Structure 1
Amino acid sequence: MKGKYSKPVKTAVELIWSSFDRDEIRRGYAMLMQAAQQGDADALAFIARCFMGEEYVWPQAGFKVDDANASKLMQKSAMMGSATGVLCAARSSNLTPSVERHMPFASFKEAFEEILGQAERGDAFCCYMVGNVYYWGDYLRVEPDYAKQFKDENGYNAWAYPIAKEWYERSFDGGLCAGWGNYCDIRKS
């Protein structure tokens, strides 16, 4: 990623995750495949998401779940230097010790900071990923010492949910509807 997605990946992500038109989604997927063939590590991460089921892509998009392929692609993406791949690998239990040793990032925090920078510049998908890092508790991988200040999960959530809510809202403003379920959970809490 190196601070931003390539133009084909950015366009493909918009077509797949901001559209409900299967033809547009297929066009976006073809763009990801072409970018991946040219060595784009971010493209691999997004291709992997397509095979990870309805928690990762619109169920009616027509992608069949293929966990083994998704894991392989996500891990390869992280090891090739995709910050998106690192964050998604962590969220999907694919950030194994072996992957961490082989990724070019010094830490999960370094990959997160790259995504955060893109989110701060308005990338909707990165805003969504930052929201997820706070929502799911992955922020404790960014700042492990923060765990000491919370008595329990409720304490963490009281601190993190307002931050996650803001990032999800920024992703919605950017045209992305992913994260809506998490956002609703935050609102209910």
Structure 2
Amino acid sequence: MQSFFDERVRFAIEHIWINPLSGKREEALSALREAANMGDGDAFYFLGRCYLGRSFADPVLGLPHDRKFAFECFDKSLELESAVGMFATMHIEGYEPSQGTFIHPPYKSKREIWDKVYGMAMDGEIFCRFLVANAYFYCDVADFLDITPENAGGEEPYLRRVREWAAAAVGLYEGCVNEGLGIAIPNLIDILSSGKNGIPVMKKRADKYKHIAADMGIGAYERIIGNEYRDDNRLDEALAMYERAASHGDGYAYYCLGKFYTFRGVLGMNLKKAADYFEKGIASYPNDKGLCNLLGEIRFRGGQGLACDFPKAFALLDNAYRNGSTWGSDMLGMCYLKGLGTEVDLEMARWMFELNPKKRFAVWGLEELESY
């Protein structure tokens, strides 16, 4: 297989995207920086990609989210005439090149950029195959090749192409997974399980890839398999899988772990352990409704040596409410009724109680309000 990337870029791809559990994050980042500093446009693209969040690099790497730095790297990638940089950044939400165009010499059109990266993919460059698969999956290929329903001969011929693109994406994603590129799995599962763009739903095939992803140490899928074990009452296996997922950077796994030990937990109540898990989850997802609600409940009710902390309880439950959850409205109602962590507001108390009037605190609170 011909190699199109500098050896330092290949090293980074191996240890950031193919084997993120290798423990060589710093060496990989250093390799990218070194290549970038020597004027390698591809290195600038991959360096920027590292800082765009968990959809662009595995959370286990613990890379900070720095959109400004990422976009600066993309600008340099384009200036240095990286076809991969031009191809891959063209449809990243929010990115507009400072030069005003994605197309730089020696390329004169989007089609020429497509031809270059597609050729690299067909010659075996795994990350280019992933990028081309994404272009098929999101139908960005239509933009690269200027294909519209009008010039494709009508809506039905165009939709036929869309189905062909989805099928091509499946084949390319599966090839990527077979070579260890786990980042290809989420979109692959999406196509197989949803029937996206006319592909037949293939649930068993999708489930197979969920297990492959878990075996590869991808935290989100370890959690998903943990959920399956939990639902089958295989609690020890579920617990082990959630712990693996958490160790691999999946913040939502802490929610699953905490639920085992909080009020109504199936492994016996241990509020300190539950609170510790929820706190760790909130560190990754500060506005997650489930985490805020369940930690808020512990801070509101206390118990097992944990004192009530009404200011924290109110802040957490209010955050969940403002993000669309009414689950903790009865506790919020009590906060407003009694001035717990916030000022007394009887109108807000009644509002909160009436959102879930049959819950215990709501029943008590509404009875008290009727006596005023």
Q: Output the TM-score relative to the length of structure 1.
A: 0.88
User: How far is 1:131 from its partner?
Assistant: 0.1
Contact kept, 8 Å, 1:79 with 1:103, in 2: the verdict is no
What are the residue-to-residue correspondences of 1:10-89 with 2, within 5 Å?
10-21=10-21, 23-89=23-89
Q: C-alpha distance in 2, partners of 1:32/1:182?
A: 26
1:151 pairs with one of 149, 155, 165: 155
Per-residue deviation at 1:102? 4.5
Which whole-Å deviations, capped at 9, do the CAs of 1:56-79 have from their partners, x for residues lacking one? Answer: 100121211111111121122022
Q: Judge conservation of contact 2:176–2:182 (CA < 8 Å) in 1.
A: yes
**Residue 117 (1) aligns with residue 119 (2):** yes
Q: Which residue of 2 aligns with 1:92?
A: 92
- Aligned identity (percent) is 25
Structure 1 residue 103 displacement after superposition: 5.2
Q: CA deviation at 1:121?
A: 1.5
Conserved 8 A contact 1:79-1:99: no
1:78 and 1:103 in contact (8 A); partners too:
no
Number of equivalent positions: 186
Q: 2:32, 2:46 within 8 Å by CA — same for their partners in 1? A: yes
State the shift of 1:151 in Å: 2.6
Q: 1:5 to 1:16 in 2, by over 3 A?
A: same
Q: Gaps spanning 5+ residues in structure 1: where?
A: none
Tell me how far 1:101 sits from its aligned partner.
Answer: 5.4
TM-score of the superposed pair, with normalisation by structure 2: 0.47
**1:95 shift after superposition:** 5.0
**RCO (CA 8 Å, sep 6+): is it higher in 1 or 2?**
1
Q: Report if aligned partners of 1:78, 1:89 keep a CA contact under 8 Å in 2.
A: no
SS in 1 for 2:45: helix
Distance 1:129 1:147 in 2: 24
Aligned partner of 1:151: which letter? E
| In the alignment, structure 1 residue 179 sits paired with structure 2 residue 184 | yes
How far residue 33 of structure 1 moved from its aligned partner, in angstroms, is 0.6
Give the equivalent residue in structure 2 for 1:128: 130
- Structure 1 residue 4: deviation in Å? 1.1
Distance 1:103 1:72 in 2: 19
User: 1:186 is aligned with what amino acid?
Assistant: I
Shift, 1:141, TM fit: 1.7
C-alpha distance in structure 1 between counterparts of 2:135 and 2:75, whole Å = 18
Q: In 2 relative to 1, CA 87–102 (structure 1 residues): closer, same or farther, beyond 3 Å?
A: closer
Distance in structure 1 (CA, Å) of the matches to 2:23 and 2:109: 38
Distance 2:104 2:40 in 1: 17
SS of residue matched to 1:57: coil
Question: Which one has a bigger Cα radius of gyration?
Answer: 2
Residues 2-43 of structure 1: CA distance to partner in whole angstroms, max 9, x if unpaired? x81111111211111011326312211110011001110000
Name the aligned partner's letter for residue 133 of structure 1. Answer: A
- Mark the CA change 1:112 to 1:52 in structure 2 (over 3 Å): closer, same or farther: same
What is the letter of the counterpart of residue 167 of structure 1? L
Equivalent residue letter for 1:179: A
Alpha-carbon displacement from aligned partner over 1:76-124 (angstroms, at most 9, x marks no partner):
2022111111122112143547133545421222122211111112111
Residue identity matched to 2:165: A
Cα 1:147–1:173 shift into 2, 3 Å: farther
Report the Cα offset of residue 169 of structure 1: 1.4
* Among candidates 149, 168, 172, match of residue 173 of structure 2: 168
- Residues 1:18 and 1:177: Cα distance change in structure 2 (over 3 Å): same
Q: Is the 8 A contact 1:124 1:175 kept in 2?
A: no
Cα pair 1:115 1:126 within 8 Å, conserved: yes
What is the Cα deviation at residue 145 of structure 1?
Answer: 3.0
